[in-house]
A = this chain, B = another copy of it.
Amino acid sequence: MNKPTLASLAAELNVSRQTISNVINFPDRVRPETRARVQEAIERSGYRPSAAARALRNQRANALGLRLSNPRNGISGSIMDAFTHSLVERADQSGYRIVLFPARTNEEEVDKLVELRRTLAIDACILTDTWLDDARPAQLAEASVPFAAFGRPWGAKDHGRWADVDGRAGAAEAAAHLRALGHERIGYLGWSDGSPVGKDRRVGWAQALCLSGDQEAELAVEVEDTVDDGAAGMAELLSRGATAVVCASDTLSLGAFTVIRRRGGSRQCIIGFDNTPVARELGLSSMAQPVDEVAATVLDMVLAQIADPAVELEGVLIAPALVARQGSALTG
């Protein structure tokens, strides 16, 4: 037997589709005997108004759009996968699914989100990978697409609809931890890409150590986010007298570790970022990003907007947590 539809039921009962729709949505509008006959047929047939029909009626998809994040590299790419896992789990608890799609550019992402919203395939969306002067929040607001971002609106007007990891606080905690271990010259190994995330982490390191401008320039080295560049950067920092290092990523801390190990130093003088599986296996310390808290916060923010489009929201910074390690079976 085919799945019953509004049309097949209407034909079978010899009533209009509108009558069946009324029985379901506005039973008072239908004469009692017709209502009883239609209700009985609906129950017997197993007919249920589809999500499409319900979405048409309530303008609700119970789905949130999320662009597939491009894995930047194999080591830290797992952060966005962990965020996606957490978001999918938490959204489900509120009755929402996640609609995943790819996009090559921010423009393509916004176009797809606006189209998904316009066609009732999603109710709202989550942005990730915010960047300097990110145009997406303003474009989505203009198109009335509710959103919340993992990542603050660097340089752009603060729309308040974001949660982010407080990288500055994380780098500061890492620097303070190294100083508590007795280090007096603590370097910073960061990214040369000019990313606002990287600059923010560098500020946290410099502030925690109360460095002068000259000291900061001397003890900070910025390179590409690769293991080899991390090794070269660490060698440079050692030549400048640093005895410990705060790294902007676990990729860089891995590179730093190759140098420290070759020279017989202790891995405890290195702290990376992202608490990746690699850092865990190698027994390297790292700042763990609170992706679960970020996912919970941005989800709350879009649900609040779905309930009340005019709701006022305020951005939230969540501090990462130090995972201190002293080695592993693998690396002694």
Contacts and interface: CB of A to CB of B under 8 A. Distances in A.
A258 B282 CA distance: 11
Interface size class of A (residues with CB under 8 A): 35 or more
Interface in A223-248: 227-228, 231
Interface in A70-128: 71, 74-75, 78, 81, 84-85, 88-89, 92, 97-102, 116, 118-121
Contacts of A116: 51, 97
Contacts of A68: 85, 88-89
Given A97-B100, A277-B74, A227 B88 contact: no
A281 interface: yes
A310 interface: no
A223 to B, nearest CB: 14
A325 interface: no
Interface in A29-56: 48, 50-56
Number of copies: 2
6 contacts: A3-B118, A3-B144, A52-B119, A74-B280, A88-B102, A228-B329
A257 interface: yes
Contacts of A85: 68, 71
A278 interface: yes
Given A48-B119, A88-B101, A97-B100, 7 more contacts: A50-B56, A51-B52, A51-B119, A74-B78, A78-B78, A78-B81, A88-B102
A63 interface: yes
A254 interface: yes
Nearest to A51: B119
Interface string A198-230: 000000000000000000000000000001100
A307 interface: no
Nearest to A144: B3
Contacts of A311: none
A180 interface: no
Contacts of A276: 74, 277
Q: Which of A54, A84, A330 has the most C-beta atoms of chain B within 10 angstroms of its own C-beta?
A: A330
A257 B332 CA distance: 12
Interface string A271-290: 00000111011100000000
B101 A92 contact: yes
